[in-house]
Amino acid sequence: MANARQIKRRISAASNISKITKAMEMVAASKMKKAQDQAILARHYALALQDSLQKLAAQADPSLHPLLSRNFTGKDILLVVGTNKGLCGSLNTQLFKKMDAWRKLHPDGEIVAVGKKIVHFCRLGGFKIHSQFTDIAEKVTTSDLVAISEMVIDGYLKQDFRSVGLVYMDFINTLSQKPRVAELLPMAKEEVVGEVTDGQKKVVKADYLFEPSAKEILTNLLPFYIENSIYQAFLESRASEHSARMVTMKNASENAHELVDELKLVFNKSRQSAITSELLDIATATLTV
Amino acid sequence: MSEKSKLTLRIISQEKKLLEEVVDKVSLPSTEGEITILPHHAALLSQVETGSLRFTQDGHEQDVVIAKGFVDVNPSGLVTVLVDSAIYARDISMEKVQKAIEEAQETMAKSEDQRELMMAEASLKLAMLELKVAQKTKKAGI
């Protein structure tokens, strides 16, 4: 049968693919371990920092620092942390959905795209790109992100940005990651401002001492907090990326193996039927002689 | 001594939580000078300079070298130290420190980029301090 050769080719193609996906799975698995550890260990810091800042923000006058006050003019910015490479399941698609939802609320919003996949989607989906970052190193360090955080802070201080949102994949565990939308700036939530102006609450608040002064600490702590939030988002999204890729590649290898098994069955069947028909031919030929 | 009259010290660096222990006393370098925190300290939020932090636990003193950051003293006795990096004095490796010093000096000699210079200077300062503290701990025979 002419078919047999074709099937044979498909079998070898599928098994080659399974070898590649297996290799990618193992690469992702080793990167995943590192990325997960980094993300989980850094969480303590982010949480503690947030805690201190909330205390500070609740007690200091928001007018002390422009990052704590609201901007009423400027653009809405969304910082989307995606991946440079594909083949990681529905990870980027989930981010795209969040971006679409965000655009409904902020029709004139602009995107700060991190990762080639996000840039590509922005072009396809007609999002306005404010800026793009596609060359962040595999192992994220805070110094890599200085450019991004400086841009965000400067833009907000100059009142070019009205609000800055952040979307990334929050790492929950190897099998599940969830897209998370966070508001980066303005930091002053309505409640915090309300608390300060409210006379009654003022009495309740603990008397915190600030050294050297609340203003100075705020000035140092706020940009630092934003940097750290962005850093943490990057760590989480890296951990999510590698986890998602590993799971996807594992599924791909399994599917390829299944396909090889199926094709082998078809191949054997066709070979068997070829032999049978040949035997029949020989039998009829001998009978006629 | 009841639990109430002790402090809970947490040192958290950007990479990880270094320690969370119940201690008697903490001394650390704030921007306004060295401060010592005892139980029942007033609530305080302060900036921390690069330097060495010393805490006393059951009569034993231990040193931790910290980079700059913040300290948050909670009225309930929880002291949270948030720093860029932190390392136990006993964990400091001399070879690593020497290497860091050499590298930082090299960068400072070559680089002209303002940011790179600043970072090299900061890491040089930290490495020098680690060296000093490590030598002190070795002398004390700990």
Contacts of A267-276 with CB under 8 Å at 24 or more apart are A267/A4, A267/A7, A267/A8, A267/A11, A270/A1, A270/A3, A270/A4, A270/A7, A271/A1, A271/A4, A273/A1, A274/A1, A274/A4
C-alpha B48/C-alpha B52 separation (Å) is 10
* Radius of gyration, CA atoms only, chain B: 16
Q: Is the pLDDT of residue B124 over 90?
A: no
Answer whether A44 touches B (CB < 8 Å).
yes
**Does position A168 have pLDDT exceeding 80, yes or no?**
yes
- Cross-strand pairs, A98: none
Within a 10 A sphere around the Cβ of A233, how many other Cβ atoms? Answer: 26
Q: What pLDDT does B131 receive?
A: 80
- Supply the mean pLDDT for chain B: 83
Residue A17 lies in a domain: no
Confidence of residue A191 (pLDDT cuts 50, 70, 90): very low
CA dist B84 and B95 (Å) reads 22
Give the pLDDT of residue A63. 67
pLDDT band at A46 (very low <50, low <70, confident <90, very high): confident
Give per-residue pLDDT as tens, A124-141: 988 999 988 888 887 787
Cβ separation of A217 and B70 shorter than 8 Å?
yes
**Residue A145: pLDDT above 60?**
yes
| Interchain pair B42, A207: CB under 8 A | yes
Answer whether residue A108 is part of any domain. Answer: yes
Check if the interface score ipTM surpasses 0.90.
Answer: no
Structural domain count, chain A: 1
**How buried is A52 (Cβ within 10 angstroms: 0-12 exposed, 13-18 middle, 19+ buried)?**
buried
Which is higher by pLDDT, B111 or A125?
A125
Query: Mean pLDDT, to the nearest integer, of A10-17?
Result: 94
Put simply, the answer to whether A48 touches B45 (Cβ < 8 Å) is no
Of A41, A45, A206, the CB nearest to B75: A206
Q: How many other CB atoms are there within 10 angstroms of residue A105's CB atom?
A: 9
Q: Is residue A233 part of a domain?
A: yes
What's the mean pLDDT in A34-43? 89
Determine whether the interchain pair A44/B70 forms a contact, defined as Cβ–Cβ distance below 8 Å.
Answer: no
User: Per-residue pLDDT tens for A200-242?
Assistant: 334 335 577 887 777 788 788 888 888 888 989 999 999 999 9
Write down the pLDDT at residue B139. 65
Question: In CATH, what number is assigned to the domain containing residue A34?
Answer: 3.40.1380.10
**Contacting A residues, span 184-213, partner chain B, CB-CB under 8 Å:** 206-212
A38 touches chain B (CB under 8 A): yes
Specify if A277 maps to a domain: no
Residue A141: per-residue pLDDT: 78
Q: Which residues pair with B81 in a beta bridge?
A: B11, B71
- Asked if the model's pLDDT at residue A195 lies above 60, the reply is no
Q: If you measure CA to CA, which chain B residue comes closest to A52?
A: B72
- For A110, list phi and psi in degrees, rounded to 5: -120, 155
Q: How far is A12 from chain B (nearest CA, A)?
A: 46
A141 touches chain B (CB under 8 A): no
A142 interaction partners in chain B (CB closer than 8 Å) = 14
Q: Report the SS3 class of residue B32.
A: coil
Cα distance from N-terminal residue to C-terminal residue, chain B: 27
Give the number of beta-carbon pairs within 8 Å between A and B: 72
Angle, in degrees to the nearest 10, between helices A146-157 and A214-288: 130
Q: Identify the three-state secondary structure at position A76.
A: strand
Dihedral, CA of residue A265, residue A270, residue A273 and residue A279, to nearest 10: -120
pLDDT at B140: 61
Count H helices and E strands in chain A, helices first. Answer: 7, 6
Mean pLDDT of A62-87: 83
Read off the pLDDT band of A256 (50, 70, 90). Answer: very high
CA distance B6 to B2: 7
User: Which of A205-214, A248-257, B89-98 holds the top average pLDDT?
Assistant: A248-257
Pull the structure tokens for residue A112: 């700060």
* Chain segment B39-77, per-residue pLDDT in tens: 888 888 888 988 889 999 888 888 888 888 889 888 888
Q: Is residue A14 part of a domain?
A: no
Instruction: Determine contact, residues A7/A267, Cβ cutoff 8 Å.
Output: yes
Residue A223 lies in domain:
22-247
Tell me whether residues B47 and A44 touch, CB distance under 8 A: no
In a domain, A175, yes or no: yes
Confidence of residue B4 (pLDDT cuts 50, 70, 90): low
Q: Which of A52, A146, A208 sits opposite B70 (nearest CB)?
A: A52
| Confidence category of residue A48, pLDDT binned at 50, 70, 90 | confident
Q: What is the pLDDT of residue A80?
A: 92
d(CA B104, CA B116): 10
The nearest CA of chain B is from the CA of A186 a distance in Å of 22
Contact assessment for residue B70 and residue A221, using Cβ atoms and an 8 Å cutoff: yes
Top residue of B8, B82, B117 to mutate, by most chain A CBs within 10 Å, is B82
- Cα angle A8, A24, A143 (rounded to 5 degrees) comes to 160
Task: Answer yes or no: are the C-beta atoms of B61 and B50 closer than 8 Å.
Answer: no
* A54/B contact by beta carbon, under 8 A: no
Q: How far is A252 from chain B (nearest CA, A)?
A: 34
Asked whether residue A159 is assigned to any structural domain, the reply reads: yes
- Mean of all residue pLDDT scores within chain A: 85
**The pLDDT value given to residue A108:** 87
Q: How far is B19 from chain A (nearest CA, A)?
A: 11
**Does residue A199 carry a pLDDT above 50?**
no
pLDDT recorded at residue B1: 43
Would you say A181 and A173 are in contact if contact means Cβ atoms under 8 Å apart? no
pLDDT value of position A31: 92
Predicted local distance difference test score (pLDDT) of residue B2:
46
Specify if A270 maps to a domain.
no
